[in-house]
């Protein structure tokens, strides 16, 4: 394995930067290419067939061009739908991102867990299976919040977040039977930890937020244990679609050690 072979992080937008932040803590010297499919954003409103074809196709071409040592699909929606297909296509390890139901079930005291994701994520059988395996005897209340993806994208570009979006999510969850007992909130989209402060203000400090970023980072570090890393220059941030889609991200990228955005 070449020491400068990168880790490829892939997401529909900037949400996967929350995974990148976790990865820097455990593999600070690893070269990274972050790929944001801005031309395909948002994924949550697309069909399963559209998402599977797009993600597998893009990652096949990206793997051929960039020769990564590992690929991480840093997107819950893409992972719950296309992870198996991508693993069949690529010849390198592929790490997915799934809703953190298992740790949430271990944390809850009331037995009631809220789960916020995209519409495509919350309806997947994969999520049903996670609930059956790890949250038996618990109440899992799911809500689709596609507007939060756009809000997180805007926030990272320095724009304000509409409080009504957060209030609507809170109202919908707590209005469900048993919703008033929610004490743990699963952020089932990598974009959503970018809104942790806004969510904490709405749900209160007693509701713990759980996401999978640190667990994913540990999994990547485990799979790459013993490998050597040698970065040449800043990490790369590439986007699909016009470069104008990355406008406003300059500060967020620079503080994370990325060079200027590039078009794939």
The model's pTM: 0.94
Read off the pLDDT of each residue in 32-53 and give the average, rounded to a whole number: 95
The question of whether 75 is a catalytic residue gets the answer yes
What is the pLDDT confidence band of residue 232, given thresholds at 50, 70 and 90? confident
Rounded percentage of the chain residues whose pLDDT exceeds 70: 100
What is the pLDDT confidence band of residue 70, given thresholds at 50, 70 and 90? very high
Per-residue pLDDT at 231: 87
Read off the pLDDT of each residue in 237-257 and give the average, rounded to a whole number: 97
Question: Of 62, 189, 202, 238, which one is the catalytic site residue?
Answer: 189
Residue 1 has pLDDT above 90, yes or no: no
Question: Of 71, 75, 151, 165, which one is the catalytic site residue?
Answer: 75
Q: Spell out the residues 6+ positions from residue 76 whose beta carbon is closer than 8 angstroms to its own.
A: 97, 98, 99, 117, 118, 121, 188, 189, 190
Residue 241 has pLDDT above 90, yes or no: yes
Per-residue pLDDT at 218: 97
The H or E element that residue 236 is part of is: strand 236-239
- pLDDT tens column, 91-103: 999 999 999 999 9
* Structure-block tokens of residue 116: 């916020």
Read off the pLDDT of each residue in 30-52 and give the average, rounded to a whole number: 95
The question of whether 72 is a catalytic residue gets the answer no
CA–CA distance, 182 with 79 (Å, rounded to integer): 26
- Hey, what domains does the chain have and what are their CATH numbers? 7-97+214-263 (3.40.50.1860), 101-211 (3.40.50.1860)
Q: What is the mean pLDDT of the chain?
A: 96
What is the pLDDT confidence band of residue 146, given thresholds at 50, 70 and 90? confident
CB 173 within 8 A of CB 182: yes
- pLDDT tens column, 47-67: 999 999 999 999 999 999 999
Residue 44 has pLDDT above 90, yes or no: no
Count of residues for the chain?
A: 264
């Amino acid at each position: 394995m070449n020491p400068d072979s990168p880790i490829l992080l892939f997401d529909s937008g900037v949400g996967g930067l929350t995974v990148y932040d976790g990865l820097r803590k455990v593999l600070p010297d690893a070269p990274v290419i972050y790929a944001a499919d801005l031309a395909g954003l948002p994924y949550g409103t697309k069909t399963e067939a559209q998402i599977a074809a797009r993600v597998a196709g893009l990652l096949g071409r990206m793997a051929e061009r960039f020769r990564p040592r590992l690929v991480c699909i840093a997107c819950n929606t893409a992972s719950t739908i296309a992870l198996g297909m991508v693993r069949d296509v690529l010849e390198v390890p592929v790490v997915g991102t799934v809703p953190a139901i298992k740790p949430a079930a271990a944390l809850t005291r009331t037995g009631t867990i809220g789960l916020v994701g995209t519409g495509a994520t919350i309806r997947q059988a994969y999520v049903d299976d996670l609930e059956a395996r790890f949250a038996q005897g618990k109440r899992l209340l799911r809500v689709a919040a596609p507007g939060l993806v756009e809000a997180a994208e805007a926030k990272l570009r320095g724009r304000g977040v509409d409080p009504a979006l957060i209030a609507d999510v809170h109202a919908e969850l707590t209005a469900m039977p048993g919703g008033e007992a929610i004490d743990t909130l699963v952020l089932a989209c990598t974009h959503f930890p970018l809104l942790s402060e806004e969510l904490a203000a709405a749900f209160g400090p007693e509701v713990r937020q759980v996401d999978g970023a640190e667990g994913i980072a540990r999994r990547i570090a485990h799979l790459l244990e013993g490998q050597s890393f040698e970065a040449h220059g800043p990490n790369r941030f590439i986007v699909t679609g016009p470069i104008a889609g990355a406008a406003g991200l300059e500060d967020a990228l620079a503080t994370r050690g990325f060079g200027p955005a590039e078009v794939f």
